[in-house]
């Protein structure tokens, strides 16, 4: 069974584009409506919005006790933007050291006003990672109850397996860019490695940031949408959820109407010819 009991995760990185969500009261109302609709999984990275979104999210959660209970949060850590580098260097860098992760986790829990997050993701593979130390730290976060599960993002199989070899807890998931327009991981073995290791794939940018609606691919999405009486965006998510291992899309729109449409379109499975027709439209050549 998928770790996510919702049709998709809602990524919060585009919050700045929605004026109505930039007040804590507005955001609390919006979050509460999503939770009521069963869209209770959210993805957040403290580096989004220059670091201000975490505080905003925390103030919103603080207004409604049900939110902290019912929201499921995926939080990506391990990247320190230049402006948050307190070393005097002002360098954007990765920090997956136990001390760095402890600082980041403590900070995010405090800002959000919650005792626990559902999923902690290491946002990028860190060449300076001491896997034994990082693996112990991640296991300890789970053991002390502050994190329910741990995963990675943008890792290669050798990178997550190296980390896994130093951990007691199985890595639960990997977040990676995946859409009909951005599909190489399906052909280079990475997607199959995730399945082999029992990890859920969280497919971020499943609409390629909105660009999949253009050109031949956009036309084909429209044709299939009419055929199945769903939206073109619903077809694009169905292209993903038709895959073995069933990735969970991490969508970026925060528009209520679009989210409701995506939720009502969920559950469609494409036939093989439909799936390959979309692939062909995206790549502009037939499979060999
Ligand atoms: N791990 C990583 O490295 C990483 C990288 C990138 C993203 N992410 C995560 O993935 C999330 C989603 O990424 P994304 O924003 O690129 O996702 P996306 O769902 O591929 O793209 C969202 C964009 O598509 C637009 N769009 C146009 N037509 C749409 C339609 N009919 N239905 C829905 N959206 C439509 C939206 O516009 P409107 O906003 O105007 O609706 C929005 O600008 C992020 O918020 C973040 O949480 C993670």
- CA–centroid distance, 252 to ligand 1, in Å, is 3
Domain boundaries, the chain: 9-177
Q: Quote the pTM value.
A: 0.98
Atom in ligand 1 nearest the alpha carbon of residue 45: 47
- The whole-number pLDDT of residue 127 equals 98
- The whole-number pLDDT of residue 51 equals 80
Question: 129 near 77, Cβ under 8 Å?
Answer: no
- CA–centroid distance, 259 to ligand 1, in Å, is 11
Q: pLDDT tens digit string along 163-208?
A: 999 999 999 999 999 999 999 999 999 999 999 999 999 999 999 9
Question: Residue 45 CA to chain centroid, in angstroms?
Answer: 10
Atom in ligand 1 nearest the alpha carbon of residue 121: 1
Residue numbers in the chain where pLDDT is lower than 70 = 1
- The whole-number pLDDT of residue 50 equals 80
- CA–centroid distance, 41 to ligand 1, in Å, is 15
CATH number of 9-177: 3.20.20.100
Question: 178 near 203, Cβ under 8 Å?
Answer: yes
- The whole-number pLDDT of residue 49 equals 84
Burial track 252-286 (b if 16+ CB lie within 10 A, e otherwise): bbbeeeebebbbebbebebeeebbebbbebbeeee
Q: Which long-range contacts (CB under 8 A, 24 or more apart) does 89-96 make?
A: 94/123, 94/124, 94/126, 94/127, 94/128, 94/129, 95/126, 96/122, 96/126, 96/128, 96/129, 96/134
Q: Which residue among 210, 237, 249 has the greatest number of ligand 1 atoms within 8 angstroms of its CB, and so is best to mutate?
A: 210
- The whole-number pLDDT of residue 100 equals 97
Q: Assess whether the C-beta atom of 201 lies below 6 angstroms from ligand 1.
A: no
Backbone torsions φ then ψ of 189, nearest 5 degrees: 95, -10
Nearest Cα to Cα of residue 74 among 167, 176, 175, 219: 175
- The whole-number pLDDT of residue 176 equals 98
> Rounded CA gap, 61 and 110, in Å?
12
């Amino acid at each position: 069974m998928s770790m996510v009991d919702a049709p998709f995760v809602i990524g919060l990185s585009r919050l700045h584009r929605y004026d109505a969500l930039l007040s804590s009261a507005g955001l609390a109302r919006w979050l509460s409506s999503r939770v009521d609709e069963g869209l209770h999984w959210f993805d957040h990275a403290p580096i989004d919005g220059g670091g201000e979104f975490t505080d905003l999210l925390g103030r919103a959660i603080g207004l409604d006790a049900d939110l902290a209970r019912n929201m499921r949060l995926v939080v990506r850590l391990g990247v320190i933007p230049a402006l948050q580098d307190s070393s005097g260097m002002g360098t954007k860098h990765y920090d997956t050291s136990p001390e760095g992760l402890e600082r980041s986790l403590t900070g995010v829990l405090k800002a959000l006003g919650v005792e626990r997050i559902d999923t902690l993701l290491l946002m990028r593979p860190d060449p300076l990672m001491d896997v034994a130390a990082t693996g112990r730290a991640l296991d300890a976060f789970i053991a002390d109850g502050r994190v329910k599960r741990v995963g990675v993002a943008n890792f290669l199989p050798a990178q997550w397996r190296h980390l896994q070899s130093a951990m007691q807890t199985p890595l639960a998931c990997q977040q990676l860019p995946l859409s009909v327009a951005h599909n190489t991981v399906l052909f280079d073995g990475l997607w199959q490695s995730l399945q082999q290791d029992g990890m859920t794939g969280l497919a971020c940018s499943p609409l390629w940031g909105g660009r999949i609606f253009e050109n031949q691919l956009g036309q084909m999405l429209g044709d299939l949408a009419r055929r199945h009486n769903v939206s073109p965006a619903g077809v694009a998510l169905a292209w993903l959820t038709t895959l073995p291992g069933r990735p969970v899309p991490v969508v970026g729109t925060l528009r209520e109407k679009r989210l409701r449409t995506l939720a009502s379109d969920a559950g469609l499975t494409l036939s093989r010819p439909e799936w390959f027709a979309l692939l062909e439209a995206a790549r502009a050549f037939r499979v060999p």
